Amino acid sequence: MAMEVTQVLLNAQSIDGAVRKNAEDSLKQFQEQNLPVFLVSLSGELANEEKPVETRKLAGLVLKNALDAKEQHRKFELVQRWLSLDGNAKSQIKACLLKTLTSLVSDARSTASQVIAKVAGIELPHKQWPELIGSLLSNVHQLPAQAKQATLETLGYLCEEVSPDVIDQDQVNKILTAVVQGMSSSEGNTDVRLAATRALYNALGFAQANFSNDMERDYIMRVVCEATLSPEVRIRQAAFECLVSISSTYYEKLAPYIQDIFNITAKAVREDEEPVALQAIEFWSSICDEEIDILEEYGGDFTGDSDIPCFYFIKQALPALVPMLLETLLKQEEDQDQDEGAWNIAMAGGTCLGLVARTVGDDIVPLVVPFIEENISKQDWRQREGATYAFGSILEGPSPEKLIPLVNVALTFMLSALTKDPNSHVKDTTAWTLGRIFEFLHGSVVDSPIISQANCQQIITVLLQSMKDTPNVAEKACGALYFLAQGYEEMGPSSPLTPFFQEIVQSLLTVTHREDAGESRLRTAAYETLNEVVRCSTDETAPLVLQLVPVIMMELHNTLEGQKLSSDEREKQSELQGLLCGCLQVIIQKLGASEPTKYVFMQYADQIMGLFLRVFACRSATVHEEAMLAIGALAYATGADFAKYMPEFYRYLEMGLQNFEEYQVCAVTVGVVGDISRALEEKIVPYCDSIMTQLLKNLSSNQLHRSVKPPIFSCFGDIALAVGEYFEKYLMWAMSALQSAAELSTHIAGDDELVEYTNSLRNGILEAYSGIFQGFKNSPKTQLLIPYAPHILQFLDGIYMEKDMDDVVMKTAIGVLGDLADTLGSHAGSMIQQSVSSKDFLNECLSSEDLMIKESAEWAKLAISRAISV
Partner 1 sequence: MAPHDIRRPFKRAAISDQQKRRELSLLRQAQNRRDAQQQARCLASSILSLQSSAPESQPEQSDIEIETVPESEQESEAFSKDLDVRQASKLRGPEVRKWFARQLMLPEWMIDVPDRLAQDWYVFARPAGKRCFVVSSNGTTVSRQRNGSILHHFPSALPAGAKIRDGSGSGQSYCILDCIFHELDQTYYVIDMVCWNGYSLYDCTAEFRFYWLNSKLEESGACNAPSHYHKFRFSAVPVYNCDQSGLYAAYTGVVPYAKDGLLFYNKHALYQTGNTPLALVWKDENCSQYVIDTDGKGEIPSQQQVVLELQDDRKLVTSDDPPVLFGCLDRDIIEKSGLHTGNLLRFAIGDGGLSFADGKLEKADLIYLGKSNRARAFADSYSKVLFQFMVRHSPLKIDDLLASINSANDQEKTPSDIEMVG
CB of 737 to partner 1, least distance (A): 19
A 10 A CB-CB count for 664 gives: 13
> Which range, of 294-302, 427-435, 697-705, 781-789, touches partner 1 by CB under 8 A?
427-435
- Tell me what percent of the chain is helix, strand and coil, each rounded to the nearest 5: 80, 0, 20
Q: CA dist 193 to 88, 148, 204, 234, 868, Å?
A: 36, 10, 16, 10, 74
> Does 285 participate in binding partner 1 (rule CB under 8 A)?
yes
Q: What type of residue sits at position 184? A: S
Considering the complex, state which of residue 398 and residue 582 has its C-beta at the smaller distance from partner 1.
582
Min separation Cβ 33 and partner 1, Å: 36
> Could you give the count of Cα atoms lying within 13 Å of 784 in the half-sphere of its Cβ?
20
Least spacing, CB of residue 278 vs partner 1, in Å: 6
Spatial separation of the C-alpha atoms in residues 589 and 701, rounded to whole Å: 33
Within its chain, how far is the Cα of 566 from the centroid? Answer: 31
Give the CA distances from residue 747 to residues 209, 239, 431, 797, in Å, rounded to whole numbers and listed in that order.
28, 40, 50, 12
- Which member of 30, 262, 391, 482 binds partner 1 (CB under 8 A)? 482
Among 818, 835, 838, 857, binds partner 1 (CB under 8 A): 818
Contact present, 170 and 133 (Cβ < 8 Å): no
**Shortest Cβ 531–partner 1 spacing (Å):** 6
Contact range with partner 1 by CB under 8 A, out of 206-214, 248-256, 279-287, 551-559: 279-287
Q: Is 636 in the site for partner 1 (CB under 8 A)?
A: yes
Q: Is 201 among the residues that bind partner 1 (CB under 8 A)?
A: yes
Using an 8 Å Cβ cutoff, are 359 and 298 in contact?
A: no
Task: Tell me if 394 sits within 8 A of 358, measured CB to CB.
Answer: no
Q: Which is nearer to partner 1, 42 or 576 (CB)?
A: 576
Choices 549-557, 642-650, 671-679, 835-843; region in contact with partner 1 by CB under 8 A: 671-679
Of 237, 538, 758, 838, the one binding partner 1 by CB under 8 A? 237
Per CB under 8 A, 710 contacts partner 1: no
Interior CA angle at 346 toward 345 and 349, to 5°? 80
What 3-state class would DSSP assign to 5? Answer: coil
Show the beta-strand stretches assigned E in 534-634.
Answer: none
Q: What angle do CA 608, 613, 615 make, to 5 degrees?
A: 95
| Cα distance between residue 847 and residue 853, in whole Å | 9
**Least distance CB 18 / partner 1 (angstroms):** 34
Q: Does 161 participate in binding partner 1 (rule CB under 8 A)?
A: no
331 binds partner 1 (CB under 8 A): no
For the bound state, the minimum distance from the C-beta of residue 560 to partner 1, rounded and expressed in Å, comes to: 21
198 binds partner 1 (CB under 8 A): yes
Q: Does 629 bind partner 1 (CB under 8 A)?
A: yes
Rounded distance between C-alpha atoms, residue 608 and residue 869, angstroms:
53
Q: Which of 45, 68, 363, 528 binds partner 1 (CB under 8 A)?
A: 528
The reply on whether position 347 binds partner 1 by CB under 8 A is: yes
How many residues are present in the chain? 870
Fill in the per-residue mask, 561 to 600: x = in contact with partner 1 (CB under 8 A), - = not in contact.
-----------------x---x--xx--x-----------
Q: Is 282 in the site for partner 1 (CB under 8 A)?
A: yes
Q: Specify the residue, 201 or 313, whose C-beta has the smaller distance to partner 1.
A: 201
**Among 74-82, 99-107, 152-160, 293-301, which window interacts with partner 1 (CB under 8 A)?**
152-160
Spatial distance between the Cα atoms of 358 and 369, rounded to a whole number of angstroms:
16
Instruction: Give the count of beta carbons closer than 10 Å to the beta carbon of residue 279.
Output: 25
Q: Check residue 153 for interaction with partner 1 (CB under 8 A).
A: yes
Q: How many residues bind partner 1 (CB under 8 A)?
A: 72
Cα dihedral 741→697→574→578 (10° resolution) = -40
Question: Binding of partner 1 at residue 92 (CB under 8 A)?
Answer: no
Q: Which amino acid is at 564?
A: K
The answer to whether residue 202 forms part of the interface with partner 1 (CB under 8 A) is yes
Rounded Cα–Cα distance for residues 870 and 865 (Å): 8
User: In the complex with partner 1, which residue's Cβ is closer, 432 or 841?
Assistant: 432
Cβ burial 700-726 (10 Å sphere, 16+ → b, else e): eeeebeeebbbbbbbbbbbbbbbbbbb
Instruction: State which residue, 44 or 578, has the beta carbon closest to partner 1.
Output: 578
Residues in CB range of 34: below 8 A, 6 or more apart: none
Q: Which of 30, 82, 157, 800 binds partner 1 (CB under 8 A)?
A: 157
Task: Map the footprint of partner 1 across residues 431-460, applying CB under 8 A.
Answer: 432, 439
Cα torsion 814, 817, 822, 828 to 10°: value is -160
Nearest distance, CB of residue 698 and partner 1, angstroms: 18
For 636, residues 6+ apart whose C-beta sits below 8 A from its C-beta are 589, 592, 675, 678, 679
Return the number of the residue (518 or 671) whose C-beta is nearest partner 1.
Answer: 671
User: With binding defined as CB under 8 A, does residue 109 bind partner 1?
Assistant: no
Q: Which stretch binds partner 1 (CB under 8 A): 58-66, 292-300, 379-387, 666-674?
A: 666-674
Q: Is 488:536 a contact under the CB 8 Å cutoff? A: yes
- Min separation Cβ 528 and partner 1, Å: 4
Of the candidates 46, 71, 58, 67, the residue with the CA atom closest to the CA atom of residue 10? 58
Residue 705 binds to partner 1 (criterion: CB under 8 A): no
Our finding on whether 619 is near partner 1 (CB under 8 A) is no
Q: Which is nearer to partner 1, 251 or 636 (CB)?
A: 636
CB of 465 to partner 1, least distance (A): 20
Q: Which stretch binds partner 1 (CB under 8 A): 271-279, 614-622, 692-700, 781-789?
A: 271-279
Task: State yes or no: residue 471 binds partner 1 (CB under 8 A).
Answer: no
- Residue 332 engages partner 1 in binding (rule: CB under 8 A): no
Choice from 9, 204, 278, 765 touching partner 1 (CB under 8 A): 278
User: Is 397 a binder of partner 1 (CB under 8 A)?
Assistant: no
Q: Which is nearer to partner 1, 20 or 854 (CB)?
A: 854
